[in-house]
A and B are shown apart, each in its own frame.
Chain A
Amino acid sequence: MTEMPEHSVALDAKIPKGPLAEKWTQHKNNIRLVNPANKRLIDVIVVGTGLAGSSAAASLAEMGYNVKAFCFQDSPRRAHSIAAQGGINAAKNYQNDGDSVYRLFYDTIKGGDYRSREANVHRLAEVSTNIIDQCVAQGVPFARDYGGMLDNRSFGGVQVSRTFYAKGQTGQQLLLGAYGALSRQISKGKVTMYNRHELMDVVTVDGKARGIIARNLVTGEVERHGAHAVVLCSGGYGNVFFLSTNAMGSNVSAAWKAHRRGAYMANPSYTQIHPTCIPVSGEYQSKLTLMSESLRNDGRIWVPKHDTDVKALRNGTMKPTDIAEDRRDYYLERRYPAFGNLVPRDVASRAAKERCDAGFGVNQAGEAVYLDYASAIDRYGRTEAKVQGIPAPSLEKIRELGEAAVRAKYGNLFQMYEQITDDNPYKTPMRIYPAVHYTMGGLWVDYNLQTTVPGLYACGEANFSDHGANRLGASALMQGLADGYFVLPYTIGDYLADDIRTGEISTDTPEFAEAEKGVQERISQLLNNTGKTPVDDFHRRLGRIMWNQCGMSRNAEGLKQAIADIQALRAEFEKDVCVPGRSDRYNPELDKAGRVSDLIELGELMCKDALERNESCGGHFREEYRTPDGEALRDDEGHAHVSAWAYTGVPSEAVHHKEELKFENVELKTRSYK
């Protein structure tokens, strides 16, 4: 264990006292309220309009606060939550399979490999059921069964069916619900919406967050916006790897600017590598596409058992459907019989890497495994034949019925796969490989979702709070909406109660002027640089360093090298980046340059964080710390803490603060899905 620097302080998460199941209710009863007349005197800025941002902005406006909401896209409906496919968890127990708030809490703590806060996770499980009710009331068209009741499916790492869904477009439907709520408040004038605006800096006055500097991406104008509190719902930073399932515009800049202004970054190296994505196809690839985890409900994952078959597949003399059952290695079912194909994401990803590293990858690059629907099509086909009363169905008929059943459940995902790969997944198994998908790390927040800067809050993927070292499937949507609809609107009142006499926040102050000047200087520096290399070039190189050294498996030597490489890349970027165009026009290259510059700094901190954590837990797998059979080896004595980093100017020299995690309700165990 590394020694803590002298000036490091213990972080107070402000977890309420009392029994776990009563903490949130008691806290809500005890925190201060702002009366309706006073709410009208208070302004709140919300940055980002995904599930967390839209729901927070709408809820705050409904309560009476004046909200200014910002997004960099051309409409709040485009935020990347829209792309979430599989579903949202809630402890409704509609399937009567023994689910409960406690079980959802327990699964999430265990799934996060015992690196999250008990109190936060329990609150998340408690409000999960409200989310479903809320969304149904908004007209979100969740899947229903023939009796008209809400349907569920299973996701990885759990043994109940608690995932609510809308085909493969659950994120879209939930976001459009929240966007509807936001739109309603915009129409009432309670939310002022700023589309195509980017946060350029957070402004603090007397140590409190009192506004932001934003840039209108169409006119290039740099604007000052004051408020009594600022809420960052700006999403995750998976794009630090260049290739990821994130949208092209997803970035860390809002969180990183906050970090530079004093907000700590927590566990930045905790990255989720999703096991089922479409493999990389070529040099110029710009992003990776996820195939929903829900596909593991019915699909079976395998590679060939024998090298000869691998060779034949790669040189095209054999098709996967030619390989006999007994020559296939269903490695997840073999290694993890209890959970099979539904092990958590980190476990499934590492298992795929293990097989591919051993030489069994099924594409040219040796980096793909099969996700096979043949047996599901057969099973559904036989059931459907019985339902339809077909006495002795032919194999062809069974196939036809089975394909129809699979199409009804996963149609849009299969279509997407075919569009990208030009392969028909109904006839041949899909090829998949792990890819960066989500970042569990983020801005450190206390129980009230407040960062280390008073008045600055973070919700959704932008904070670090609920998923520990590994997020379970269908939990991101749950957390985003829990934070935005049901947590932040209450907890922020306790802070704002002191501001009822403050009056409007003036932006005509030295603090705003200083921040704006810094922004203007950076813009002209980037535009006037005499470099030759486009921004994407640096981004791609950063991604390669991160994926190789800070990806699915990490080691001390590689991480140290990565820090040096990233520092060199950063120096080169400053010297040689070429940003064309002007600052007073729509200029996407300029926007991108600012984002990549922040991602480079973040990458360095991520490597530092991964280097400091001398254990393997969840998505963080250090090669030096593993069990004899290759599973992650945690160190609960030395590392049952949150690492929160304070900015000093050089990311890898950030000051390390710790929040010790106390487990009073669950026993720390070795996570096993065998």
Chain B
Amino acid sequence: MDFTLKIWRQEGPQDEGRMESYPVKGISDEMSFLEMMDVLNDQLIREGKDPVAFDHDCREGICGMCSMFINGEAHGPNRKTTTCQLHMRSFKDGETIYIEPWRASAFPVVKDLAVDRSAFDRIIQAGGYVSVNSTGNPLDGNAIPIPKHDADEAFNAATCIGCGACVATCKNASAMLFASAKVSQLALLPQGQPERMSRVQRMVDQMDKEGFGNCTNTGACEVECPKGISLDNIARMNRDYLKSQVTEE
């Protein structure tokens, strides 16, 4: 298969970016999207040109490092699929493919398609954990039975990979789906109760500080989320946030 790639090139955070066009030939339909990018970079290096920088690591859809906006969609055309798990059989021979970085002011471009998502780390640092020391002497794991349904729901929320597709997709560049996934996981479990109200406040405050937008419930984030994190989590977070405004903790 042959493709024309239109790729966003940007030297650094302060530089101006532009779309550049590159042909790639002889791509197999079994290749992953990132393997196709490897072919392009191999070609560029051999031609003495600057290869395209992009983030990637595990290439099995779990580390959350890959992040490309492909033909106007976060992680490309397939549902519940990260860019690294997207294969070229999902494209038509001869197609022109547009590849851009995540675009959000809270995610500045590092170079080309790589962006800085450390704002997500700071949201978690604001309270996305249970304050328990690891050198203490916790209860036996079975001391508090947790209903299977709650454990499963908490697990579903916890499968967020922190890739930022939700932010990139949202017209407001809101991080509500990301933050609410962590808030929900801990709100659904008994371990998370003691800090439940302060956690939601601190995490929402941090989200605002980082410059993420507000949620207007369009639901694009849920559609584009490669892990299928549910919009219900946002509702749950909103409920807790409201409650936290009128309770003392």
Contacts and interface: CB of A to CB of B under 8 A. Distances in A.
B56 interface: yes
Contacts of B55: 74
A143 B59 contact: no
B134 A133 contact: no
A641 interface: no
B56 A183 contact: no
B191 A138 contact: yes
Interface string B81-116: 100010101000000000000000000001100101
B134 A144 contact: no
Contacts of A73: 57, 63, 65
A580 B45 CA distance: 7
Nearest to B118: A195
Interface residues of A, number: 82
Contacts of A187: 125-127
A617 interface: no
A13 interface: no
A247 B57 contact: yes
A75 B141 contact: no
A166 B155 contact: yes
Interface residues of B, number: 80
A150 interface: yes
Contacts of B59: 247-248, 286-287, 289
A527 B91 CA distance: 36
Contacts of B60: 83, 245, 287, 289-290, 416
Given A147-B145, A180-B129, A187-B125, A139 B151 contact: no
Nearest to B130: A139
Contacts of A658: none
B146 to A, nearest CB: 5
A142 B142 CA distance: 11
A167 B128 CA distance: 22
A141 B129 contact: no
A248 B56 contact: yes
A534 B46 contact: yes
A80 B63 contact: yes
A75 B185 contact: no
Contacts of A284: 28, 31, 35, 38-39
B141 A133 contact: yes
Contacts of B151: 141-144, 148
A284 B146 CA distance: 46
Interface in A60-87: 62-63, 73-78, 80, 82-83
A588 B32 CA distance: 19
Contacts of A286: 32, 34-35, 38, 59
Contacts of A420: 32, 85, 87
Contacts of B58: 78, 80, 82-83, 247-248
B191 to A, nearest CB: 4
B69 interface: no
B129 A181 contact: yes
Nearest to A145: B148
Contacts of B16: none
B57 A78 contact: yes
B35 A80 contact: no
Which applies to chain B's interface (DSSP): helix, strand, loop or mixed?
loop
Nearest to A173: B158
Given A148-B148, A247-B57, A249-B57, A75 B121 contact: yes
A176 B138 contact: no
Contacts of A581: 50-51
Contacts of A179: 124
Nearest to B192: A139
B145 A184 contact: no
Contact of A173 (B41, B44, B141, B155): B155
B133 A62 contact: yes
Contacts of B162: 75, 77
Nearest to B115: A74
B142 A149 contact: yes
In this complex, which of B11, B132, B186 has the most chain A Cβ atoms within 10 angstroms of its Cβ?
B132
A464 to B, nearest CB: 24
B155 A534 contact: no
A415 interface: yes
B130 A534 contact: no
Nearest to B55: A74
B197 to A, nearest CB: 16
B226 to A, nearest CB: 10
Contacts of A146: 148
Given A144-B148, A585-B12, A63 B135 contact: yes
B63 A94 contact: no
Nearest to A489: B135
A165 B53 CA distance: 36
B99 to A, nearest CB: 16
A587 B51 CA distance: 9
B130 A75 contact: no
7 contacts: A62-B133, A80-B58, A137-B139, A186-B121, A284-B38, A416-B60, A416-B61
Across chains A and B, which 6 residue pairs bring their CB atoms closest together, nearest first? A148-B145, A180-B129, A137-B138, A141-B155, A136-B141, A187-B125
Given A183-B124, A286-B32, A420-B85, 10 more contacts: A73-B57, A75-B118, A92-B141, A141-B155, A172-B62, A218-B116, A415-B80, A534-B45, A578-B45, A589-B45
